Amino acid sequence: MQRRALLSLTASAAALSLAGCGFQLRKAPDYAFTTLFSGLPESSPLGVELRRSLESTRKVKVITDGRQIKDAQVILDVLGDQREKQVLSRNASGQVREFQLRMRFRFKLRTLAGKELIPETEILQQRDISFNESAVLAKEAEENLLYRDMQSDIVQQVLRRLAAVTEI
Q: Name, in order, each residue with C-beta under 8 angstroms of 90's C-beta and a sequence gap of 6 or more.
A: 96, 97
- Cα–Cα separations (whole angstroms), residue 28 to 54, 58, 110, 158, 161: 9, 9, 22, 14, 13
What pLDDT is stored for residue 105 in this prediction? 95
- pLDDT-flagged residues of the chain (< 70): 1, 13-28
What architecture is the 28-163 domain classified under in CATH?
Answer: 2-Layer Sandwich (3.30)
**Residue 165: helix, strand or coil by DSSP?**
coil
What pLDDT is stored for residue 17 in this prediction? 66
- For residue 59, give the DSSP letter: S
What pLDDT is stored for residue 59 in this prediction? 86
What pLDDT is stored for residue 4 in this prediction? 78
The answer to whether the beta carbons of residues 32 and 60 sit under 8 Å apart is no
What pLDDT is stored for residue 108 in this prediction? 94
What pLDDT is stored for residue 66 in this prediction? 84
The answer to whether the beta carbons of residues 125 and 140 sit under 8 Å apart is no
Helix axes of 45-56 and 136-163: crossing angle, nearest 10 degrees: 40
What pLDDT is stored for residue 152 in this prediction? 95
What pLDDT is stored for residue 18 in this prediction? 61
